[in-house]
Amino acid sequence: MSDSTRTWRFAVNVTPKPGILDPQGKAVERSLPHLGIAGVSGVRVGRRVEMAVGAADEAAARAVVDRLAGELLSNPLVEQFAVEPLGEVGEVGEAGGAASARVPG
């Protein structure tokens, strides 16, 4: 990698597609009255994956994350995903920096 590689952090939020049954969400929703909580509906339970990606720029890092999210982290038949940029960490190899991730094209 070149000296200009930077590290970018992203979160991928994966949730069931609209219309897909979400038994975990329904279980949470049914539990709310037992906790004395009212007025909450439409609960959907998913997962969040955070990662750091080394790349020359944010667009290149985002392309890696989009590919991972679509091909590995979600099931496109029943799930949708949203990528949330968390910002630049700094140069790879800096204290607190992360190793880079490369996905072959």
User: Does the pLDDT value for residue 96 go beyond 50?
Assistant: no
Contact 81, 69 (CB under 8 A): yes
Sign of the torsion formed by the C-alpha atoms of 17, 20, 26 and 28: negative
What are the boundaries of each domain within the chain? 6-91
pLDDT in tens, 16-72: 999 999 999 999 999 999 999 999 999 999 999 999 999 999 999 999 999 999 999
- Write the CA distances from 67 to 74, 77, 90, 92, 98, integer angstroms: 10, 16, 22, 21, 19
Q: Which fold has domain 6-91?
A: Mth169; Chain: A , (3.30.1280)
**pTM of structure:** 0.77
